[in-house]
Amino acid sequence: MLYVFNKIIVKKITFFSVLYYYRITFLYILNRIANNSKIHIIAVINIFLKRGSMKIKLIGVRGSLPTPSGNKEYRHKIRNILLRAVEAGLNDVTQINNFIDELPENLKFNYGGNTTCVTVTSKGGNLYILDCGSGLRGLGDELLSTECGKGKGYLKIFISHVHWDHIQGLPFFKPMYISGNILEFYSPYETLEENLKAQMDSPFFPAPFQGTASTKKYKLLKAGESIQLEDDLFVDCHPLNHPGGCVAYRFREGKKIFIFATDAEFTGETLERAENQSHFFLNSDILILDSQYTLDEHFGKFDWGHTSYTIAVNCAIRWGVKHLILTHHDPGNDDKKLRNIHSDAIQHRNDMKLKIPMIHIAREGMTFSL
Ligand SMILES: [Zn+2]
Ligand SMILES: [Zn+2]
């Protein structure tokens, strides 16, 4: 009897949820048809199709060291923006937003100085954190308005490796200091706990890691291993060529594939040789890939563990990637140079008479839906 009753309740809840969702979409479309706005209808259909998709957000994109933009760069940007405003004859405040929208990316935005941190939100709405670079501080502040602020958070954190730029945000991650929160770390490193403790040991930091109030758990992965996180969400771990070791994580949800592969050295030669790499990287929808150097810079920095953007594009083409995101920006690169790297990378692909992959350059706050 109870079983039948539960079944009816579940059916009713499902029915009303679906009705509620479609009601909103239906009314929205009707409203836009009434306004005869084709663009808005397409936007609504897109929202409908993207509903429940895996989402990726870039929180920190800088390599090696947090890199705030300095006053010299700031003044240079203001000067360039004002020059363009004068040339455009801007004299009306209502034109300002349009004017800003049409600026080149390096003037419209800051690419960002925080070191590596990325989030993945699954179809089911669960959050996964990839690496704990300095970007993690801001993410922690945002998470305080969720269950994490009440000491009821359960955060799953994947660590690519423990070079400082990938763990240095952790001491400033407020949810870690709140009792009741659980931080579950995934990595292939048996010494991870020890390493996380070490960066907060006296005299380097005033609060020891082991004294922070949250509970810590550790899941040890094997390189090459796959684990299931949710009904339809799997993660694979894959070793990368980097001093001291590093791993890539591949998230598979339904037919969608997202790969996070920061801190990896690929050369023309290793790309040719490494067929097993090709297997792991094949046919991803989004690949975040190390591209710290120009090709010339890389010639002077073999074995430093990073890839040039030219080779990153070659890799993405070889592996059939749909969207390539260039990341781990060198601390020496200002926004103007990053913009040039982006356009050169696109040109390199165009020179091969190709339109795929789409090439993006990582910028803090960028989001992608799969
Ligand atoms: Zn790094
Ligand atoms: Zn590294």
pLDDT digits over 286-337, tens only?
Answer: 999 999 999 889 988 888 899 999 999 999 999 999 999 999 999 999 999 9
CA-CA distance, 66 to 133, in Å (whole number)? 9
Which ligand neighbours the alpha carbon of 292 most closely?
1
Which residues keep their CB under 5 angstroms from ion ligand 2?
163, 263
Going from the Cα of 229 to the center of ligand 1, the distance in angstroms, rounded, reads: 26
The pair of three-digit structure tokens given for residue 261, joined into one six-digit string: 């592969």
Going from the Cα of 231 to the center of ligand 2, the distance in angstroms, rounded, reads: 32
Which ligand neighbours the alpha carbon of 243 most closely?
2
Going from the Cα of 112 to the center of ligand 1, the distance in angstroms, rounded, reads: 15
Going from the Cα of 162 to the center of ligand 2, the distance in angstroms, rounded, reads: 7
Sheet of 286-290, strand order? 226-230, 233-240, 246-253, 256-261, 286-290, 323-327, 358-361
SS (H, E, C) 129-140: EECCCCCHHHHH
Is the pLDDT confidence value at 37 over 60? Answer: no
Which ligand neighbours the alpha carbon of 330 most closely?
1
Over residues 86-130, the pLDDT tens digits come to 999 999 999 999 999 999 999 999 999 999 999 999 999 999 999
Going from the Cα of 123 to the center of ligand 1, the distance in angstroms, rounded, reads: 28
Going from the Cα of 290 to the center of ligand 1, the distance in angstroms, rounded, reads: 9
The answer to whether 154 and 229 have CB atoms below 8 angstroms apart is: no
Lowest-confidence region among 19-28, 78-87, 171-180: 19-28
> What angle (nearest 5°) sits at the alpha carbon of residue 129, between those of residues 124 and 135?
135
Length of the chain: 370
Is the pTM higher than 0.75? The answer reads yes
175: preceding bond cis by omega (within 30 degrees): no
The pair of three-digit structure tokens given for residue 363, joined into one six-digit string: 């910028």
Q: Evaluate whether the domain defined by 52-69+110-369 bears CATH number 3.60.15.10.
A: yes
Q: Which helix (H) or strand (E) holds 30?
A: helix 2-34
Q: What is the mean pLDDT of the chain?
A: 88
Identify the pLDDT of residue 224: 83
Which ligand neighbours the alpha carbon of 327 most closely?
1
Which residues keep their CB under 5 angstroms from ion ligand 1?
63, 165, 263
The answer to whether 278 and 314 have CB atoms below 8 angstroms apart is: no
| Residue 245 banded pLDDT, cuts 50, 70, 90 | very high
